[in-house]
A and B are shown apart, each in its own frame.
Chain A
Amino acid sequence: MTPPASHSRHAVALLLAVLAVGYWLASGYYGKELVAETAITAILAMSLSLLVGQAGLVSLGHAAYFGIGAYALAGFGQKLGWPPALAMAAAVAVGALLALVVGWVAVRLAGVFFIMITLAVGEMIHAWFLKDRSFGGVGGMSGVPRLDLSGIGVDLADPAQFALFALAVALLVYLLLDRLVLSPFGQTLRAIHQNEERARALGCPVGRYKLAAFVVAGAVAALAGTLAAQRSAFVSPELMTWTLSGEILIVVIVGGSGSLLGVSAAAALWIGLRHQLSTMTDHWMLAMGVIFVVLVLVAGDGIDGALRGLWRRIAARRAARRAA
């Protein structure tokens, strides 16, 4: 979908950020953890939104890039002892590289075949880290180094400060992806999504565009993974399960797949609900499932579509009242 005008989008982004900071100020220790988790989930969801909502590529293996980012940070930062900033940049590059290799094959396939290959590759990578002892196998690996921001007076080992840092990164990712979505590159992705044959007939190298989107999404997911690894200073194969890929896909669909802010809001909803429900019942997964089924049934275009519909109705009613 074409995003609404930039000032209204950025106003909503600011509102979301203010809400998050407000919650951060009001909440205790655990609330700050939730803010960090939400910010990381939002980054991961925004990266998948680029694939699903813009390019129309439904990946069911997106957690692999998230996990690879986390493990690469652990590998470069802890095993090789690189400075954390360098290790983080290298981890993002590894995510992009993995996406390049997988995407090279995957973007040639359409529909369910694309879903299957992303799922299969994700599972292969997950299985490898599950078995491989050098990264701790199923038990994972702790002691992942954090970025040193003491120069600007920030200590990322402090969960409260880390949450704000993750939020700032999420905002930055939003601004960058927002520009990308609006750029001619983003337009072309939407055109390909809507009518691939037509885009090709206009001279557009469809495969290369899809691959580029896949690489960007992989890199951003890896960035989210580096944050997840730093949050707990710990990595484990849990970060790359296909159920996480599925959860993120649900977040993207519930948010309104092409809307960066919609999927960010859905990420907050997902994390918040999970926290609330899991304290109330052991069957919180079931309850979440029901809630999200209802959400998708009520608002087919996700949170983004529902809010836009509401806004249009309010505007129409106002216009009608003015005319009367």
Chain B
Amino acid sequence: MTAPLLAVSGLHAHYGPSHVLQGIDLAVPAGGVVALLGRNGAGKSTTLKAIMGVVRPSAGSVAFAGQAIAGEATDRVARRGIAWVPETRAIFPSLSVEEHLTLAARRGGWGLDRIYDRFPRLRERRRSGGGTLSGGEQQMLTIARAMTTAPRLLLLDEPTEGLAPLIVEEIEAMLRSLKAEGMALLLVEQNLAFALAFADHVVLIGKGRVRWSGPPADFHGAAEAQAWLAV
């Protein structure tokens, strides 16, 4: 078996005195899709942040393409080929749509034409300021911007949260086409039905630890998994 593209093992992280991640293990194979599930506050977003180096891991290892990256500066992690689409989207209000798409572009990433073909709405709004975009447009732009950086792995934090159903469909279709192209994805998702239908592998986190992990097909039969997700 070949080494996974991303291998996280025994990852711990603290926010001040609170021990948010208490030994997370997960792996994303090249071209694979892993869904990260769990209740609010379980540590899903923090796991992504710890991988990106935004939150400094206090223990454990993160390996990307066979190289240890835990504790590396965020910009170095990003240049290695991990793109992070955070929950907050983090659009730059005073940059135009097109400036967002050229800002971090790297060789091998998606060009403007490809993005505009995929998201015609962004072409219409190319000159608009980031601050004037709707939530759905912001999310499209955030994903599109990530694709301009030529990532090998995309970390997505609840990409469809709070969006109108039509936009959700569009984003989900986008994720499916990325998967079909062989992009590796680590997806934090609240929409259980979509996560189970879309992912190859599911990791369920509760209170900072992995409580269940396995193929989506087994999820509904796993009583402990249900218990950790129940509200």
A2-B96 contact given A184-B103, A201-B86, A203-B106, CB 8 Å threshold: yes
B-contacting 9-mer, from A59-67, A190-198, A311-319: A190-198
Please classify how large the interface on chain B is, using the bins under 10, 10 to 19, 20 to 34, 35 or more.
20 to 34
Please give, as numbers and ranges, the residues of chain A lying within 8 Å of B222 by CB-CB distance. none
Q: Which residues of B are interface residues toward A (Cβ below 8 A)?
A: 52, 54, 73-75, 78-79, 83-84, 86, 90, 92-96, 99, 102-104, 106, 129, 145, 149
Please give, as numbers and ranges, the residues of chain B lying within 8 Å of A300 by CB-CB distance. none
Distance from A2 Cβ to chain B, minimum over Cβ atoms (Å): 5
Please give, as numbers and ranges, the residues of chain A lying within 8 Å of B129 by CB-CB distance. 2
Q: Do B149 and A203 touch (CB < 8 A)? A: yes
Q: How far is the CA of A187 from the CA of B93 in the complex (A)?
A: 12
Q: Which residues of A are interface residues toward B (Cβ below 8 A)?
A: 1-2, 184, 187-188, 190-191, 194-195, 197-198, 200-206
Distance from B221 Cβ to chain A, minimum over Cβ atoms (Å): 37
A191-B92 contact given A200-B74, A201-B74, A202-B104, CB 8 Å threshold: yes
List 21 contacting pairs A-B, 8 Å CB cutoff, sorted by A. Answer: A1-B94, A2-B95, A184-B102, A191-B95, A191-B103, A194-B93, A195-B92, A200-B54, A200-B73, A200-B78, A201-B54, A201-B74, A201-B75, A201-B78, A201-B84, A202-B83, A202-B103, A202-B104, A203-B79, A203-B106, A205-B75
Q: Do A203 and B73 touch (CB < 8 A)? A: no
- The prevalent SS among residues of B at the interface is mixed
Please give, as numbers and ranges, the residues of chain B lying within 8 Å of A188 by CB-CB distance. 103
Please give, as numbers and ranges, the residues of chain A lying within 8 Å of B52 by CB-CB distance. 201
Across the A-B interface, the 7 shortest Cβ-Cβ residue pairs: A203-B78, A202-B104, A198-B90, A200-B74, A203-B79, A200-B75, A194-B92
Q: Do B95 and A202 touch (CB < 8 A)? A: no
Distance from B106 Cβ to chain A, minimum over Cβ atoms (Å): 7
